[in-house]
Amino acid sequence: MNHTDGNTMTCGLIGNPVRHTLSPLIHNSIAEMKGVNLVYVPFEVPKGGVKNAVRGANALGIKGLNVTVPYKSDVIDHLVEIDPLAEGIGAVNTLVRTEGGFKGYNTDMSGLYHAMQDEGIVLDGECVVILGAGGVARPVAYLCATKGADRVYVLNRTYEKAEAVAKEVNNALDESLGEKIIPMPLDDYKELLDREKRFFVVQCTSVGLFPDVNSAVIEDEKFYKHVYAAIDVVYKPLETKFMKLVKNAGGKVFSGLKMLLYQGIDAFELWFENEGIKISKEEADIIYKS
């Protein structure tokens, strides 16, 4: 545990609730590893209070903030600048102090991309399959489409939701990228197996989440023969049934906990960009394992 002194810098988290967050653990570990004199504090911001929270943080010289539910889109109105990826997604989870106020980023998605790169997963020209069409599926679809994937299928039990995600993301994408997002009913996944030889999967449904640990959204082993790599956004349990199915079929897979760690790493690197702080894959692995 570090001791605060006259040079201690402050970063924090705004959201509601914030009690169960793992972010202090992540940022304290990084700060300790890199020898940065930082405290990271969760701030529970009451409903309607996000504007005051951002202003107050600015007045107090807070170096950076993470933003969690329910303020990831509301906070945008109170920024002086927004990064293009965060703007395209329509959600901000990291604020970086600039001279005039805070600039917003989305490290939930840049972190996912960073984790993929560290794991050697390349999207260029590849096919991506997103399982689910809830809150995480939309930004993941946007990320994959803008980072080089050729086709992004969104498979969902409720087809209308997959259609809505595809429509929204295709509209948000630059016209030059075309209609990359393809909606499909989950039950039609066999059609996908006829169309695509191999794909990268992002599991974005809540299936497999504790205590429902013995289910996966697709159990058919034939599906997994096409999966060369995958991520499960669920991280309780650390190894889900979906992850086991991918592994058993010979695919590379990582847990949502790694996504969570990398969103923290990306935020930390943004806050300390001027100090030149970078966290290597080896350092990320040490923090992940601890």
What are residue 82's DSSP bridge partners? 104
C-alpha to C-alpha distances, 82 to 78, 105, 217, 236, nearest whole angstrom: 10, 6, 35, 32
CB count, 10 Å around CB of 283?
A: 15
**Comparing C-alpha atoms, which of 261, 260, 213, 218 is closest to residue 240?**
213
What minimum distance in Å lies between the beta carbon of 140 and ligand ATR? 10
- What's the rounded Cα separation, in Å, for the pair 272 and 277? 6
Residue in 52, 206, 248, 280 binding ligand ATR, rule: CB under 6 A: 206
Chain-centre distance for alpha carbon 244: 21
Residue from 205, 240, 255, 263 binding ligand ATR (CB under 6 A)? 205
Count residues near ligand ATR (CB under 6 A): 14
Nearest-angstrom CA–CA distance, 268 and 247: 31
Of positions 2, 4, 52, 158, contacts ligand ATR by CB under 6 A? 158
User: What is the distance of C-alpha 247 from the center of its chain?
Assistant: 22
Smaller CB separation from ligand ATR, 187 or 191: 187
Which of 217/245 has CB closer to ligand ATR? 217
| CA angle in degrees (0–180, nearest 5) for 82-105-109 | 130
Answer for which of 161, 244, 247, 252 binds ligand ATR (CB under 6 A) is 161
Annotation says 72 is catalytic = yes
Among 135, 148, 178, 250, binds ligand ATR (CB under 6 A): 135
What is d(CA 139, CA 8) in angstroms, rounded to the nearest whole number?
Answer: 34
Least distance (Å) from ligand ATR to the CB of residue 59?
A: 33
Options 34, 47, 63, 72, the catalytic residue: 72
74 contacts: CB under 8 Å, gap ≥ 6: 50
Nearer to ligand ATR, 58 or 240 (CB): 240
Among 26, 133, 141, 184, binds ligand ATR (CB under 6 A): 133
State which of residues 66, 94, 156, 240 lies at the interface with ligand ATR (CB under 6 A): 156
Residue 134 binds ligand ATR (CB under 6 A):
yes
What is the smallest separation between the CB atom of 8 and ligand ATR, expressed in angstroms? 35
Give 199's strand partners. Answer: 227
CA angle 180, 71, 268 (to 5 degrees): 80
Q: Which stretch binds ligand ATR (CB under 6 A): 62-70, 140-148, 164-172, 205-213?
A: 205-213
Residues 176-195 that bind ligand ATR (CB under 6 A): 186
Closest CB 162 distance from ligand ATR, rounded Å: 8
List, in sequence order, every residue forming a beta bridge with 185; answer none if it has no partner.
Answer: 156
C-alpha distance from residue 236 to each of 40, 111, 211 (Å): 24, 19, 9
CA 69/CA 30 separation, integer angstroms? 23
- Does position 136 interact with ligand ATR (CB under 6 A)? The reply is yes
Q: What is the DSSP letter of 82?
A: E
Among 217, 230, 265, 279, binds ligand ATR (CB under 6 A): 217
Instruction: Decide whether 109 or 133 has the Cβ nearer to ligand ATR.
Output: 133
Question: Residues interacting with ligand ATR, by CB under 6 A?
Answer: 132-136, 156-158, 161, 186, 205-207, 217
Residues with a known catalytic role: 72
